[in-house]
Amino acid sequence: MRVFVTGATGFIGSAIVPELINAGHQVLGLTRSDAGAASLLAAGAGVHRGDLEDLESLRSGAAVSDAVIHTAFIHDFSKFAANCEIDRRAIEALGAGLSTPGVSGSQRTLIVTSGTGPGIPGRLRTEDDPPFPSSAGMPRVSEEAAASVESPLVRVSVVRLPQVHDRVKQGLITYLIDVARKTGVSAYIGDGLNRWAAGPVLDAAQLYRLALEKGSAGAHYHAVAEEGVPLREIAESIGRGLNVPVVSMSPEQAGEHFGWLAFFVGFDMSASGALTQQRLGWRPTGPGLISDLDQMRYFEA
Ligand SMILES: NC(=O)c1ccc[n+]([C@@H]2O[C@H](COP(=O)([O-])OP(=O)(O)OC[C@H]3O[C@@H](n4cnc5c(N)ncnc54)[C@H](OP(=O)(O)O)[C@@H]3O)[C@@H](O)[C@H]2O)c1
């Protein structure tokens, strides 16, 4: 298939590109920069220059493709609500591009990225749970936007990501590390038993490919290899890596300590990936979150 990948130069997109190419697909990667274009060409992908706010560039990239995998997002959390709105419009433009009458006339595919989100009291969030409702703190509406472009011409599915990790980046944990570096303590809230689901980046890339090749219309897939790692264990690993003390904080202290991140740090974000494994035959094999964190090179630039 010819696949248009947005965010193709990012942490997750740059793992998806070789996963697709190695499986025989052709990739057209979106990027804004010369450096991004050079890295895409080196990976064997084609380059589509454009911006999430340039809807025509998104429409035209999608229109010449059999499928789109959308992973681009503007990660400036000081403008989170505005960036979620840009994401919504981008998904609608990608859907419109895929709805352009195609060369083959067959149904085309859109795979949208979302998060596994907050846990559900008393049980794990599953693939069959609806998206968590958007709110002032969680204004992301990628899944609602994806559902709105589903049509006989466009098959839509959603990959929900937990904290995706390797030895360099680990989702929101990368920001926790920055806070620990700046403040000289690695903190968690209360007993630190709230858990965050996690999955290795190479396994996540494989899941996008399986969703592309075998996914069902309207399905949600969870790139979850570990259902939940307690925040306290994450903070302890960061403490070991940075050689700083590990402390428990009250929710009141956490607001000042973590800034915008405080909203997430106290949350339980556990989730299951069992249905994804069952439905797509996905078998994550990568290292665990704590193993990757313990092998981070904290003091290298
Ligand atoms: N990493 C995680 O653990 C995690 C967890 C949950 C959800 N997610 C979601 O997964 C997706 C991928 O995350 P990531 O960690 O791979 O992100 P990332 O490393 O920050 O990469 C962001 C990508 O978005 C592109 N981008 C940024 N601003 C853009 C703009 N204005 N126009 C066009 N492209 C733009 C960048 O491309 P250029 O700079 O080349 O243009 C880059 O390829 C995002 O939706 C993210 O919110 C990630």
Lowest mean pLDDT segment, chosen from 90-99, 131-140, 186-195, 240-249: 131-140
Share of the chain above pLDDT 90, in %: 89
Position 257 scores a pLDDT of 96
pLDDT band at 105 (very low <50, low <70, confident <90, very high): low
pLDDT (mean) for 92-98: 97
Using pLDDT thresholds of 50, 70 and 90, give the confidence band for residue 300. Answer: confident
Q: How remote is the CA of residue 10 from the centroid of ligand 1, in Å?
A: 5
pLDDT digits (tens, 9 = 90+) for 272-299: 999 999 999 999 999 999 999 999 989 8
**CA angle (73, 185, 235) in 5-degree steps:** 60
Secondary structure of the chain: what % helix, strand, coil (to 5)? Answer: 40, 20, 35
Pocket of ligand 1 (CB under 6 A): 7-13, 30-33, 36, 51-52, 71-75, 113, 115, 161, 163-164, 171
| Phi/psi at 195 (5° precision) | -115, 150
pLDDT in tens, 121-150: 889 999 999 998 888 778 889 999 999 999
pLDDT digits (tens, 9 = 90+) for 21-46: 999 999 999 999 999 999 999 999 99
CB atoms within 10 A of CB 106: 10
Domains and CATH numbers, the chain: 2-164+198-224 (3.40.50.720), 165-196+227-294 (3.90.25)
The DSSP output letter for 1 is: -
Residue spans of alpha helices (H) in the chain: 13-22, 34-43, 55-63, 80-99, 142-149, 172-183, 201-214, 231-242, 251-258, 262-265, 274-280, 289-294
Closest listed residue to residue 28, CA positions, set 74, 60, 55, 53: 60
pLDDT digits (tens, 9 = 90+) for 154-166: 999 999 999 999 9
Q: DSSP state, 133?
A: P
Among 68, 71, 83, 172, say which to mutate for ligand 1: greatest number of ligand atoms within 8 Å of CB.
Answer: 71
Residue whose CA lies nearest to ligand 1 atom number 46: 73
How confident is the prediction for the chain on average, in pLDDT? Answer: 95
The alpha carbon of 248 and the centre of ligand 1 are apart by a number of angstroms equal to: 31
